[in-house]
Amino acid sequence: MTEEGAREPEALAHARQFLNEKRVRFLIHMHTEEVFTARDGVVHGFGRREQMAPSFVVRTSNGPVLAVVQGSRRLSYKKLKRLLGVKDISLASPEEVIAATGTPVGSVSLLQLNMPVIFDAGLLEEDVVFGGCGVANTTLEISPSDLAGVLDAAIADISDVRVE
């Protein structure tokens, strides 16, 4: 249940149940402001940019993959293609993101059980990371090593330095 006594969104209830069953420590932050980017997360006080964990649904010839990188870095298509052994990849369209995850771009959950998940190695240098949990205006706070473990995520260098 939410603070107002309203029924919690199903995706959020499933996230809580999954993480509780796995005995993983986590927090789900509910907020009124929209947080769609790593920069938004920093501006709204969730943590440092390195702790933000934006997730990208990537289209490959083998099906969708969730790539999660540090907010201070950018996804490297070259490294991801090499890791996956595929010739072409691209970000999924907004419609493909909804089809693959059930949520729109900006609210994609880090807890994807229906597709391979790849964590950028730099995320594991952080004690906690912040990312989507499948519901707008909610943010998951969790240990990246715990999250990678419960998802059986691959860990690899899939990012490059962000130049701004």
Q: What is the CATH number of the domain that holds 114?
A: 3.90.960.10
Q: Judge whether 131 and 140 are in contact, CB under 8 Å.
A: yes
Which residues are CB-neighbours of 85 under 8 A, at least 6 positions away? none
Predicted model pTM: 0.90
Q: Is residue 26 part of a domain?
A: yes
Task: Answer yes or no: is 4 within a domain.
Answer: no
| Within a domain: 88 | yes
Kindly state whether residue 62 falls inside one of the protein's structural domains.
yes
- The structural domain count of the chain equals 1
Q: Please give the pLDDT value at position 136.
A: 86
Residue 1 in domain: no
Residue 3 lies in a domain: no
Instruction: Name the residue range of residue 144's domain.
Output: 10-161
Closest CA to 14 of 128, 135, 96, 95: 135
The pLDDT, as a whole number, for residue 1 is 42
Work out the pLDDT band at 5, boundaries 50, 70, 90: low
Considering the domain boundaries, does residue 137 fall inside one?
yes
**35-80 pLDDT, tens digit each:** 888 888 888 888 999 999 999 999 999 999 999 999 999 999 999 9
